[in-house]
Structure formats: C-alpha cells, structure tokens
Structure 1
C-alpha cells in the first residue's frame, strides 16, 4: 500500500509545507516559473526556426 494512502486528502503531502506555511507562491517560485516559460519558448522557437 502506498504511503499516505489511508490518510485524508488534506493530510497527504503535508510534508511539502512547513507547519503554518501560507498556501501562496513566493516571488522566487513565480520568477523561476517565468524563467522556465521563457527558456522553453526560446527552445521551441529555435527548434522550429521561427
């Protein structure tokens, strides 16, 4: 049986958040997402020679 399979959905994956952490993206997370989108768009543009 998978770990956490018997726990309610609200408790699964709670190890990813610190106790009392806010469920909101930080500036660093948003910036890294933006950078990843830019890099992927450049790779696709280069691959298709647009």
Structure 2
C-alpha cells in the first residue's frame, strides 16, 4: 500500500532478479541499489537515491 497526495494506491509485488518492484495498472514502484523510482502511466513522478 502506498499513499500519494491523500490517495491510497494498492500495488502488487513482481519478481525481480535484484531489487524490488511493485505495480498496478497505473503505477510502478522500484527500488534497486538504493535508487527509488515511482512512475504513473509510464511517466516518472518521483525519484530518490542514497
């Protein structure tokens, strides 16, 4: 579950060789080697790296 601007978004986990990926029909959330990205309808809307 992800909350964005007051909207609750339910995501399902997908298998990856490394890192994590969750998605639904509109959103994709990934984290790989400390880099987090969130896409909505194929467009990057959030990115953060550590």
Q: Quick check: TM above 0.5?
A: no
Q: Which has the higher contact order (CA 8 A, sep 6+)?
A: 2
Structure ID, larger Rg = 1
Coarse TM-score class (shorter-chain normalised): under 0.3
> TM-score of the superposition, structure 1-length normalised?
0.19
